[in-house]
Amino acid sequence: MGFGDFAMGYLVGQSFSGPNHIPDGSAPYSEWSSQAKKDWDKKCDEVYWEAWDRAFKEKVIERLSSGERIHASIYPDIVSKRWVELITSGEIKLIANINTPDTLRYIWTNMDCEYAQRDGYKEFYKKDVEPCLNNSSFRIVS
């Protein structure tokens, strides 16, 4: 799928580092300045990962909306609908493995809340969440 000149300028034109780096639309990519190429590639990466994060989050919400439970042993009092609310409100951030996105991990944004203080979550955090936080194949999806 390609973008026309108008859409291209509208979507990413302002993200270039300066007026001398904005391609005029007639020059092929191979003739762009190195800064314009870096700016373009950076913007493409940002757009890709924003879409990836959004799709991941939507799929998790879809699974929860169909009745799937998350850690029912730790949180028997939280039903699927409440999980959706917690994710949507930002009280929970999802952690996605970009290589195997079916495995769901999450982190409470307020580690002092009652839910984050439960022993089961603390064990889950130490075992499954902490190792992910500095691993480049994981993303925190907001």
For 20-74, the pLDDT digits (tens) are 555 666 777 777 788 888 888 898 889 998 998 899 899 999 988 988 888 888 9
Bridge-based pairing of strands 138-141 and 92-97 is: antiparallel
DSSP 69: -
The whole-number pLDDT of residue 110 equals 94
The whole-number pLDDT of residue 5 equals 46
pTM above 0.75, yes or no: no
Residue 93 to residue 90: CA distance in whole angstroms: 6
What are the extents of the domains in the chain? 34-141
The whole-number pLDDT of residue 24 equals 61
Is pLDDT above 50 for 1?
no
Residue 54 to residue 33: CA distance in whole angstroms: 32
Structure-model confidence comparison of residues 33 and 15, the more confident one? 33
Other CB atoms within 10 A of residue 65 CB: 12
For 82-129, the pLDDT digits (tens) are 999 999 999 999 998 887 777 778 999 999 999 999 999 999 999 988
The whole-number pLDDT of residue 142 equals 74
The whole-number pLDDT of residue 135 equals 82
Burial of 8 by CB count in 10 Å (0-12 exposed, 13-18 middle, 19+ buried)?
Answer: middle
